[in-house]
Every structure is written in structure tokens, then in C-alpha cells.
Chain A
Amino acid sequence: MTTSTPALLVEDLRKHYGDVKAVDGLDLSVAAGECFGLLGPNGAGKTTTIEICEGLLAPDSGRVELLGMQWKTDEHALRERLGIQLQETQLADKLTVEETVRLFRSFYEKGRSVDEAIGLVQLDEKRRARVGKLSGGQKQRLALACAIVGDPELIFLDEPTTGLDPQSRRQLWDLIEEFKSLGRTIILTTHYMDEAEILCDRVAVVDHGHVIALGTPQTLIGSLGAEHVIQFAVETPATPIDVGELRAIEGVRAARDLAGGFELQVSTLHRTVPALLALVARHGGELAQLTTHSASLEDVFVSLTGRQLRDE
């Protein structure tokens, strides 16, 4: 395999369920050694896409190539070289951590030792514990151990941290960083912006079954032309505030009406905030709320679709 062969190549992928176009003309190319994120809201078609790539679902049409091979002709060879974590797999409760990893190890010709896989996901202390007794984060790490015990070249992780507490999420991020440093290709789906920003070299933002933006997290955020986001709400203004007025303020790149307030994308926070306060005062209103944050992938998604990525 030459280095120019992409680890994953997807062209014009389509999968429809009746009227629902789960995947609708999706293209992707992931280079070997990359950590690539499929980012999008629930129901965007991320899981359908990744399960087609994993050879678990047949597409209606389109081309999928992994490590230069195709599912139709090279299924067994591919299975040997892929590591997969599915969304919501419940491993057998009655088996121990060690027994589970050894079972998965037995399916692969070559791979890591059971001890090594357990060590990599830091479950050494739990190796004799039954799977049913593990916490959510520990179960997810065990699933990761099963995914990497065959020492795969390409690892698919579908929503690896969904439903976990912040501490477990951070622990899992550290593990994924470690696999990245081993030079393996990782493809993960997530609907957490911060996860994609921290872990992924490149992300594809997916909505309604196709890619609406592609690039490094930094490029995508940079494409907003704004580094900061201001959200505010005004109480009892004498005259209503117009979005057009807000756009005219110095440093504002975009402004939108949100339920109960406004959102501004801003390049120069230190100039815009005083001007905004002056404008609110001119309208005889009082600020009920004012928050600012650095622009994130979340804002990229909002600016592309006009919708929040997820409701929080």
C-alpha cells in the first residue's frame, strides 16, 4: 500500500429508507494516519454512513474503498484490519473484562496481547470484574479495547463518549489521542463540538445525509470570519432593536434574532461590546443577559444551517 492510497474513500454514497434519505450523495476522503470526525446532529446520517463504511449495511449506490479494498471482494481481509466500536453495544454482562477481550482477540489472526489491550485502555484493575459491574465509562473503554485488540490500521468509533460524564469523556479522549500518536487512522462520529475540535485533524460537518463543510476545525471556525460570539437579551426597550442596526456595529460579521434575544458573530470584541451597550442604552432598554464565547464548530454549524447542533 502506498502512502497515497486513502485509508477511506467514499464517493456519492446514497442510502434511503422509504422517503427518508439517510445518506444523500456523500463524499469523503480520509488519508492514512488522520483522525477524521463526522460531525452533525442526531439523525444527520452519521451512523448510517459509518455502518456502510464498516460493511455492516449495504448502500443503495455509491463507492466505498477502505485501505484500497472493497467490501464485496475483500471482506475477510478488511475485517482483519479494521477496529470497530458500535454505538450502544452491550457486551456480555456475565463475562469478565479479560474473558471478553480474549474472546475478541481470538477472532483475529494477528493482534495485540490481551494484557496489552487491557493496559492501553487502563482497565488493569478491572480485568477480573464482570462486564455487568462496570461503569458507563469503563464499559466504553472495554469496547475500545475490543476494537483495538486486533491491532487495526483503521479504527471506527461511533459516538464514543455519548452519555458519559465529563471525567470519563476526558479519559477517553486521552486514549484516542494515544492511538493517534501510534499512527493509526481513526474515523469517529460525534455530535459534541468540543470533542471534534480537540481530537480531529479534519472534520466533515454532515447534515441531511451530505457533507456541508469540510476542513480542519481551525479552518472551519476561521471561515466564519469571526473569533467571538456574543449572545444577549434586552429587557423593556422603549423602541424595538432591529437586526440591521446590530449588523452596522463595528466588528459585527453576522447578527441573528434568537428566541428571546440576539446572537452576534464578532471579530473585535473590545470594540463591539461598548458600541452594543451604547445602542441598548439609546433604545432605553436594559441588558437582561450577556454572554460571549470564542467561536466554535457549534457556531459554524449554526451559521451553515441556521439551527443549533443539539438542544442543550
Chain B
Amino acid sequence: MSDRPNPLRELVSARFKEYIREPEALFWSFGFPILLAIGLGIAFRSKPADAVHVAIVSGTAPTEPLATYLRRDSALTVETMSADSANAALRTGRVALVVTQLPTGGLRYDFDDTRPDSRTARLLVNDAAQRGAGRSDPLASTNRIVREPGSRYIDFVVPGLLGMTIMGGGIWGLGFSIVDQRRRNLLKRLVATPMSRGQYLASYLLSRLVLLAIEGGVLLAFATLAFGVPMRASAFTVVTVVVVGALAFAGLGLLIASRSRTIEGVSGLMNLTMLPMWVFSGVFFSSENFPRVIQPVIKALPLTAVNDALRASMLRGIELPGLWPQLAVMIAWMVICFAVALRIFRWR
């Protein structure tokens, strides 16, 4: 006879070891969100506003003094080229606007009005040319530049990435692992012992929360330190949102895994579940872009609720009482998924 190890601790530690001994899984949970944040951070980093490239067609008239007027505006980069080269540069997007001096002394602008930078160039060039030619502005104006953390793309996307990590962890972490154990007959073997089924499921939830604390912590620490992404609500609020969201997705993962016997079967179900949320739930762009009629459906998706709650708390400093609609959606998913999953779960 010997002392009995604590079964819940053994189950959680087995979960944990199985997980950290899988290098690919480690990359997908830790490396991937960080690489994505780095990539997006570089692409959308805060930098001096890009100068807009414009072309002046040479040959129709002397390019001076027009070129000098335009060069006074630091937001413009001016090149002179032949009409053919200028048109080619415009078509390929190398310049945003082509300026042609007409024999009458006026100017003609060639540009694509669906390109925002072309429209900007049109306004800047016209302004600079008119002022250079002697226009005086009736209203005096000055500029004050405001570049505030919280309104940049990186600020928008980090809560989305965190939401995606929570979803992926819950659905993959439970779905894949449970079905793998069922496929290997290991679930049946465990059920053939006096193991408590409640502790078995609890071990998944606990190990998920521990891993999520690490994954989410790494992502948030990186986003805060490297990009200055703000954290305006209390840590308690953000952690509560993360934990409730994680439990909702754990329920969804359990439901997905409750019947499947094959990895192929469960992979299909997982993708079927996650794909709509990747698209509609506002990970990389705002879900407000979708038509108003489907907004109620989008708002009812668990990832939308998690992402909205994370953005509201991190970026706008809204605390728990203001997040009840999102938390209600998450809790509803959690309760319904767990109830159905436990009813139909195939233990053998």
C-alpha cells in the first residue's frame, strides 16, 4: 500500500506536460500571435506621414516655378517626366497624381478618384499651386498634431489577436486532445478506472486557464512594451473577460469534441466553428463593416463578445458593469455548451 497522489493534480500535470512536450503546439500558441503582432506592428507602425508622389509632365510648358511651389510642401515628392512615363507611373501606382500644365496657363490633374492617396495628392497639389501663384487664404489656420495610443491599428488588432488566442486555445486545446484520447482508446481506459469524470474535465479547464495566463500574458506584455498598446481598465476587469471568454470557448471545444471518434471529423467541426468567427467577429477589421441586418447574429457570436469586451476595457477603460451585454453572451455560450456536451459526451 502506498500514499495516493492527488488525482486532479496528476491529471492537470499530465495535460500540461503533454502540451509543452509538443513543440509545434508551443509555436502556434506563443510564437504565432507574437509574430502576427510584430508583422502588423511593422506594417501599421506610427511614422511621419508618408510623402505622396506626384508627377509633373515636362514639355507642355516650363516646369518652373510650379515644381518649386509644390516642393515647399513636405508632404509631396515631386518628379518631372514625359507624358508617357507619367501615365505609366500613374497606372502602376508609383505616383498618385499627374499634373499637366495646359497652354491656357491652367492645370489638369490626372488621378484615380477611388484611391485615397490620389485624392489627398489632388488637394495638396492644388493648394500648393494656388498659393504659389498668389492665392491668399481668408481664414488663418494652424495645425496641432495628435498621435495618441489607443486609436492606432495596432491598438485595434491586439485585443483581436488576444480574442483569437482564447478561441483557438479553448477549441483546439480541448477538441483535439479529447478526440485524440478517444481515438487511442485511452478515454475508455481511463473510464475503466475509478477516475472521477468531473476531475477529468476539470483538468482540461484548469490546464487551459494556466496556459492561457501564459499565452495571453506574453502577448499583452509584448504589445504593451513594444507598441505601447494601452490597458485602461483595471487588470481585474481584463482578466475576468479573458477567463469568462476562455470558459465559453472551453465549453464550445468540449461540445465539438463530445462525439467525434476521428481527428479528421473533429478538425472539420473545429474549422466550421472557427472560420465564421475569424471573418465576422472583428479580429483584423471592425465587425461594424458588415450590413446592419446581420449585426445581431454577429453580436451573438462568442468571439465578437470577447473582442468587443477586450477593446472596450483595454482601449476605452470600460469596467465590468459596462460590459454586461458581452459577458452575458459569453456566459450563455458557456452554460449551453457545457450542458449539451455533458449530456451527449461519448466516454468510450
Listed in ascending order, the chain A residues whose CB lies under 8 Å from chain B are 54-57, 76, 79-80, 82, 84, 86, 88-92, 94-95, 99, 102-114, 116, 130, 146, 150-151
Contacts of B193 in A (CB 8 A): 79, 84, 104, 107-108, 150
Query: Which of A95, A114, A130 counts the most chain B CB atoms within 10 A?
Result: A95
Contacts of A103 in B (CB 8 A): 10-11, 14
The 8 closest A-B pairs by CB, nearest first: A113-B2, A90-B184, A79-B194, A106-B7, A106-B10, A106-B5, A94-B21, A107-B193
Partner of B194, one of A102, A109, A116, A151: A109
The answer on a CB contact under 8 Å between A102 and B21 is no
Q: Is B186 part of the contact surface with A, judged by Cβ < 8 Å?
A: yes
Contacts of B192 in A (CB 8 A): 54-56, 79, 82, 84, 86
Contact A89/B4 with A95-B17, A103-B11 known, Cβ cut-off 8 Å? no
Q: Is B74 part of the contact surface with A, judged by Cβ < 8 Å?
A: no
The answer on a CB contact under 8 Å between A107 and B18 is no
Q: Is B71 part of the contact surface with A, judged by Cβ < 8 Å?
A: no
Contacts of A91 in B (CB 8 A): 184, 186, 189
The answer on a CB contact under 8 Å between B18 and A92 is yes
Contacts of A57 in B (CB 8 A): 348
Contacts of B185 in A (CB 8 A): 86, 88-90
Bound: A288/B195 CA distance, A: 60
CB distance from A53 to the nearest CB of B (A): 11
20 contacts between A and B (CB under 8 A): A79-B193, A80-B194, A84-B189, A84-B192, A86-B188, A89-B188, A90-B186, A92-B14, A94-B18, A94-B21, A94-B22, A95-B17, A99-B13, A103-B14, A105-B5, A107-B193, A107-B194, A111-B1, A150-B193, A151-B1
CB distance from A17 to the nearest CB of B (A): 15
Contact A56/B188 with A108-B4, A108-B194 known, Cβ cut-off 8 Å? yes
The answer on a CB contact under 8 Å between B184 and A99 is no
CB distance from A112 to the nearest CB of B (A): 6
CB distance from A257 to the nearest CB of B (A): 42
Partner of A107, one of B1, B7, B22, B188: B7
Q: Is B289 part of the contact surface with A, judged by Cβ < 8 Å?
A: no
CB distance from A184 to the nearest CB of B (A): 15
The answer on a CB contact under 8 Å between A110 and B1 is yes
The answer on a CB contact under 8 Å between A89 and B5 is no
Bound: A111/B195 CA distance, A: 14
- Contacting A at CB under 8 A, from B1-44, are 1-2, 4-7, 9-11, 13-14, 17-18, 21-22
